[in-house]
């Protein structure tokens, strides 16, 4: 499976909540980097990091909707371009923003590192701060 095919399959499983299947695509020492300015920012580590991160992040939003814009990749990296819309649970404020998720694959073809880039992380931090 190419990195592009693996990423698409992983996100398909994640969208259905099939976390054991998601973990199969991850390296044991996976690291996910979220912007440090966000309440869920920093490094998330381990094969189950995406599940833990997803569960934590979704706790901040009501009615989240993620739309796939594009998915591109090469031999070792894949970039998913997404658009996320949601309502901040604590304030009722709605936002729409693009996000780029850059994933690096290790020599075994497993997802080893993800960098999550919000097009305006400051906006998300301000909305969450109220």
Predicted confidence at residue 130, as pLDDT, reads 78
Q: What is the mean pLDDT of the chain?
A: 96
pTM metric for this prediction? 0.93
- Tell me the pLDDT tens digit for each residue of 40-97: 999 999 999 999 999 999 999 999 999 999 999 999 999 999 999 999 999 999 999 9
Structural domains in the chain plus CATH codes: 3-129 (3.10.450.50)
Residue partners of 34: CB distance under 8 A and separation at least 6 = 40, 41, 42, 43, 44, 53, 116
Tokens encoding 74: 């090469």
Q: State mean pLDDT over 7-36.
A: 96
42-45 sheet: strands from edge to edge: 42-45, 26-34, 111-118, 94-105, 77-88, 61-73
């Amino acid at each position: 499976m190419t990195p592009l095919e693996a990423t698409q399959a992983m996100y398909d499983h994640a969208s259905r909540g099939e976390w054991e299947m998601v973990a199969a695509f991850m390296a044991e020492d996976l690291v996910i980097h979220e912007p440090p300015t966000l309440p869920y920012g920093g490094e998330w580590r381990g094969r189950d990091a995406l599940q833990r991160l997803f569960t934590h992040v979704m706790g901040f939003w009501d009615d989240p909707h993620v739309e796939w814009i594009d998915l591109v990749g090469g031999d070792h990296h894949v970039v998913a371009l997404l658009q996320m819309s949601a309502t901040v649970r604590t304030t009722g404020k709605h936002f729409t923003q693009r996000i780029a998720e850059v994933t690096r694959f290790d020599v075994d073809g497993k997802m080893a590192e993800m960098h999550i880039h919000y097009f305006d992380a400051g906006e998300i931090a301000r909305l969450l701060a109220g």
